[in-house]
Amino acid sequence: MPAGSLRNACEDRLGRLDLPHRFSENDLIDAVASLAGRTIDCEPVDMRGAFSCGLRKRYANREVIYYEKNASALHRRQIIAHELSHILWEHKGEIDLADLMSDEELAGLMDWSVLGVSARTSYETDAEIEAEMMATLILQRMYRGTVMPAPRPSAADERWDAIFA
């Protein structure tokens, strides 16, 4: 998909989220969980180089996102936004973890109720390109909202921001 079309598709999906002008990481997680109809938990783990940064396990009624526990706050947000983007794109998570981890590491992360797993190992697949583009747009919105007034101010504080910006 051409970059412009991909960006438009990402913007369309992001428009489905009920996010305030200024939103936090938790607001984002809650909005994606509400749209997906599943709870989403994020857990820090020591990835020990097994993945570049994150892993998502998909269950019937829940998603678990694992992120590198030593990641900076900005990197953690990118990891979580990337994995949330897979949920927004409805990517099923079809990787073979046996190619990436030892049997012992694999045993610690898996159980029989897991429906799918995704982990970023490259940017060569459409799913990874889609998720990374959307994660970048999410972070742009998150940070832009902290310094720019709302494009359509509704709350009193947003109207004041718009007047003095």
pLDDT single digits (tens) 34-50: 999 999 999 998 877 65
Closest CA to 22 of 150, 138, 127: 150
Query: Token digits for 87?
Result: 């949920």
Closest CA to 20 of 163, 157, 145: 145
CA 58 to chain centre: 13
102 with 50: CB under 8 angstroms? no
How far apart are the C-alpha atoms of 102 and 50, rounded to whole Å?
9
Query: From the CB of residue 32, how many other CB atoms can be counted at a distance below 10 Å?
Result: 23
Statement: residue 31 has pLDDT above 50: yes
Lowest-confidence pick of 55-69, 105-119, 150-164: 105-119
Complete edge-to-edge strand list for the sheet that includes strand 39-45: 39-45, 62-68, 54-58, 116-119
Statement: residue 89 has pLDDT above 60: yes
pTM of the model: 0.75
Statement: residue 129 has pLDDT above 60: yes
49 with 69: CB under 8 angstroms? no
pLDDT single digits (tens) 96-114: 444 455 556 555 555 545 5
Which residue is it, tokens 């359509």?
A: 152
